[in-house]
Structure 1
Amino acid sequence: MSSGSLHLDFDLFLLMGMTCPIDRKIATVEQFDLTIEQAQAVGKHISDQLNFSPDQFSKLGNLLGVDVPEAEYPAVSYRSIIWPDLEFSAVGHAGYWHTGRFRRVESAAPLTLVNPLSIPIWSCTMDEVAVSFAEMEAGDSIPPYEEILFTAADGARYGAGFSWGLLQSIEKLPS
C-alpha cells in the first residue's frame, strides 16, 4: 500500500472524529469517490488498530508508513491528503500516542486572519488563530477537541473550536 493511500486513510480517521457538520464530511469524502459509510468504516478500522496499549505509538507509525524515532517523546508527521497545506504531527510518550495536531507546512503561504467570522472552517490551525488575535485564553479541552477564547480588533470576544488543532467553528460571544 502506498504512503498516499495510508495517509488518506488516516486523514479519513481524523475527519470522521471531527466536530464539523456532517454535510461537510460528506462533500469531502465524495471528492475521493467515497461514500460517508466507506469513510466511517476506514475511520473505525484505524481506530480499532490504535487501541490504548503500550505499543500504540509504534502502531501509529506503522499505519502512517513512517519509522518511529527512539526518544522519550518521539514525533512522527505526514503531509495531509485532504488538507494539502497542512501536515499532521503526533507525539508519543512511553509507547502511547500523547498528542496530535495539524500545522501549516512551511512551503504554504502564510495566513492573515482579521475578521473571525469570515474565517472558513479547516482554513487555519489553532496556532495560527492564537498568534492572530489578542487576549487569548484556553476554553474547554478534551483532546483532540480544544476551544480558545479571544478578542478581535473590533474589541468583541469570540470562541473558536478545533479538532486536532484544525478550526471547526468560530462564534461571537455575548458581551
Structure 2
Amino acid sequence: MPDSQFPNPLDLEIDLLLGMRCEDSLKESKLQELGISFGTAKDIAKQVDTKLQFGRDQFENLRRILDIDPGSGENPTLSYRLNLWPDFNFVVTSESGHWSMARFVRAADAPAPDLSAPGNLEPWSVCIQDLESEFPTLRCTDAFPPWEEFIFEDLSGVRYGADFSYGLLQQIEVLPGKQSPM
C-alpha cells in the first residue's frame, strides 16, 4: 500500500490478524492464502495503526478505511463483515471519536457453532457471545482489550480456559482437575 493511499478493508483485516494472540503459523497460513508475505503484512499493519491511533479521529478513520458513510449520533456503532472471518461481523462502538468497544460477533445469517466438545473448537470458530449462550459459568479472568481470557465449565464439570482477541476465539484448553460450578 503506497503511503499516499488510505488503508482499505483488507488492510484493516491484516492489521487485526497480526494483532491476534494466536499461533504465528495460523497468521502465516492466512497471509499465504492472500498472497501476502509476513513482512509486507507488518508494513501494512503499521500504516493502518497510524490511521487508527487513539484519538478523536479514530472512529471516523475506521469509517473511511471501511468506506462507510459517517453516521449520526454522539456514540455511533458500526458493524462490518470482514472477508477473513465470514461468519462474524466486526462491531465497533465509538465514544467521543475513539473506539470504546471493538469485537467480533456472530452474523445473524451464520450457522450456529457446535459447542458439544469445547476442547475441539478451532481458532476463529466462535466468539464470546457463542460461549455465553451455552455456558452460564463463563467468566472473564483477565482483560486488556482487545485480548480477553475466560474460564468456564461444561455440563460434565470439565474446566476450560479460552483466549480471545477482539472477542474471537484464539485458543482453548482443558484445565487440570474438575471444579464445582462457579
TM (norm. structure 1) is: 0.93
- After TM superposition, give the deviation of residue 154 of structure 1 in Å: 2.1
> Within 5 A, what are the aligned runs for 1:26-175?
26-175=28-177
Q: What percent of counterpart residues are identical?
A: 35
Contact 1:29 1:36 in 2 (8 A): yes
Secondary structure of the structure 2 residue equivalent to 1:60: helix
- After TM superposition, give the deviation of residue 163 of structure 1 in Å: 0.1
Secondary structure of the structure 2 residue equivalent to 1:100: strand
Unmatched 5+ stretches in structure 1: none
- After TM superposition, give the deviation of residue 58 of structure 1 in Å: 0.9
Structure 1 match to 2:4: none
Matched AA of 1:99: M
Q: Runs of 4 or more off by more than 6 Å in structure 1? A: none
Secondary structure of the structure 2 residue equivalent to 1:14: helix
Contact 1:55 1:95 in 2 (8 A): yes
Secondary structure of the structure 2 residue equivalent to 1:173: strand
Q: Hey, what's the Cα distance between the residues in 2 that align with 1:155 and 1:53?
A: 44
Which of residues 8, 20, 23 in structure 2 aligns to 1:21? 23
**Cα RMSD (Å) of the superposition?**
1.3
Deviations 1:10-61 (A, max 9, x none): 1111001000011110000110111111111111110011112212111111
Secondary structure of the structure 2 residue equivalent to 1:44: helix
TM (norm. structure 2) is: 0.89
- After TM superposition, give the deviation of residue 69 of structure 1 in Å: 1.5
Matched AA of 1:6: N
**How many residues of Structure 1 are paired with residues of Structure 2 in the alignment?**
171
- After TM superposition, give the deviation of residue 144 of structure 1 in Å: 0.2
